[in-house]
Structure 1
Amino acid sequence: MSNLLPRNATKLEKNIEQLGEKISLIRVPFVDLHSIDRCPVLHLPWLAWEHRVEYWQPDWNEQDKRNAIRESESFNAGRGTQSSISSLIGTVVDHYQLKAWYEFNPPQKPFTFVVIVSPQYLLSIEQLLQVHTAIDATKSARDNYSISAKVKTTCDFYLTGSVTSGTKIHLESL
């Protein structure tokens, strides 16, 4: 005991003091928690939150997570620009083109853009959702966008039918 409590301290106060002493013995690497290279893997999502990493996938490997945190400072400085949108889309899809409103002939509505995924590549529904998430994480609030891509999906398709046959008889009374 630290002898900080008076002699007439209650049992609750003494227990709290003992608990505080036990907690102070736990080694917490506070300095490491804020270092991108030394932060424990389990704490990387919190470090990413601290660095404003907007697009994060829990299934990334450790190196990709650390790289995302490392690149967040320059990314946040250019947030909303075409290059920041491209860098995030590039984490999901390889063969795409980002076309701004002024690149169309005639120009489209201002502050719109289209993400055109190469037609020879099929995206899964999950990839399409990741592209949407990546764009929403970095585009400016005024921007509107669309995605032009071929999407593959699987589903169960059931076809049923029925056949009836018979003879139609009309009865008339005389």
Structure 2
Amino acid sequence: MATFFDVGIPIRTLWDPDTCRVDLLPYLAWAFSVYRWDETWDEATKRKTIKDSFFLHQHKGTIGALRRAVEPMGYLISVTEWWENDKQPGTFEMEVAALNTGVTVEMYAELERVINDAKPCSRHLTILTISMETRGEIPVAAAAYDGDIMTVYPYFPDSIESSMTAYARAAVQVIDTMEISA
């Protein structure tokens, strides 16, 4: 008869998000009070969500907790609190950037639920803006075609012209000596 200690269930690995078996991750998420769980997530996302759960509960009601609760859903958030835009005290606005997918009605309802679970209880969400950014490559090219028609002739130096002014002068000095004797 097998004893209690002979059971091959490694209890120590069950409570660790890094070593827990994949098929038991949903139960570990439930035990860690994970805000949102989606079976379609890949294994790395599931493990990261479970790991972040402790931080979320520790920092519940902060912008950091909001980010960690919403970003695994595939969204980036930007929060503007009431003192940043001179709105009614105790309110905040949030812009959610949908990265790779759009937002369905079900996803919007889930997003609101997650935000309400993670936000400060004393704050009220007044504006929730959903934005989508599309990234892609736009090939841009430019070409220039330029040319000249040029005729090249052999080099002929210009004629060298020189000018000179010549002055002709002449001087004649004739000295005659005449003696008259008388």
Q: TM-score category by the smaller chain? A: 0.5 to 0.7
Evaluate the alpha carbon distance shift between residue 83 and residue 95 of structure 1 in structure 2; reply closer, same or farther with a 3 A threshold.
closer
Match of 1:115 in 2: 94
63-72 vs 43-52, which moves further: 43-52
Deviation at 1:67, TM superposition (A): 0.8
Count of aligned residue pairs for this structure pair: 129
Query: For residue 135 of structure 1, what is the aligned residue in structure 2?
Result: 115
Q: What SS is found at the alignment partner of 1:113?
A: strand
Q: Using the alignment, how far apart are the partners of 1:125 and 1:42 within structure 2?
A: 29
CA contact (8 A) 1:122 1:149 kept: no
* Structure 1 residue 135, shift from structure 2 partner: 0.4
SS at match of 1:135: helix
Letter in 1 for 2:72: T
**1:59 Cα deviation (Å)?**
2.0
Q: Which residue does 2:31 correspond to in 1?
A: 50
Aligned pair partner of 1:99 in 77, 80, 85: 80
Aligned equivalents of 2:24, 2:96: Cα separation in 1:
35
CA RMSD across the alignment: 3.0
Give the C-alpha shift of residue 97 in structure 1: 2.4
Return the structure number with greater helix share.
1
Give the gaps of 5 or more residues in structure 1: 2-20, 152-174
After superposition, the Cα gap between the structure-2 partners of 1:144 and 1:97, relative to the gap in structure 1 and judged at 3 Å, is same
Instruction: Output aligned runs, 1:8-157, within 5 Å.
Output: 27-94=8-75, 96-104=77-85, 107-117=86-96, 123-145=103-125, 146-149=127-130
Q: Tell me the TM-score normalised to structure 2 length.
A: 0.58
Alpha carbons 1:98, 1:113 under 8 Å: kept: yes
Q: What amino acid does structure 2 have at the position aligned with 1:112?
A: T
Q: How many angstroms does 1:47 deviate by?
A: 1.4
**1:160 match:** none
Q: For residues 120-152 of structure 1, what are the alpha-carbon distances to aligned partners after superposition, in whole Å with 9 as ceiling and x for unaligned?
A: x9532233123212202211222211312379x
Say if 2:66 and 2:119, in contact at 8 Å, map to a contact too: yes
Structure 2: gaps spanning 5 or more residues: 133-182
The 3-state SS of whatever aligns with 2:95 is strand
Query: Residues 10-61 of structure 1, C-alpha deviation per residue, up to 9 Å, x if partnerless?
Result: xxxxxxxxxxx69986532322211222211222122123323222222211
CA–CA distance in 2 between the matches of 1:57 and 1:122? 17
Look at both structures and tell me which one has the larger radius of gyration over its CA atoms: 2
Question: What TM-score results when the alignment is normalised by the length of structure 1?
Answer: 0.60
Give percent identity, aligned residues only.
23
1:117 and 1:149 in contact (8 A); partners too: yes
Match of 2:122, as an amino acid? Answer: R
Indicate the SS of the match to 2:17: coil
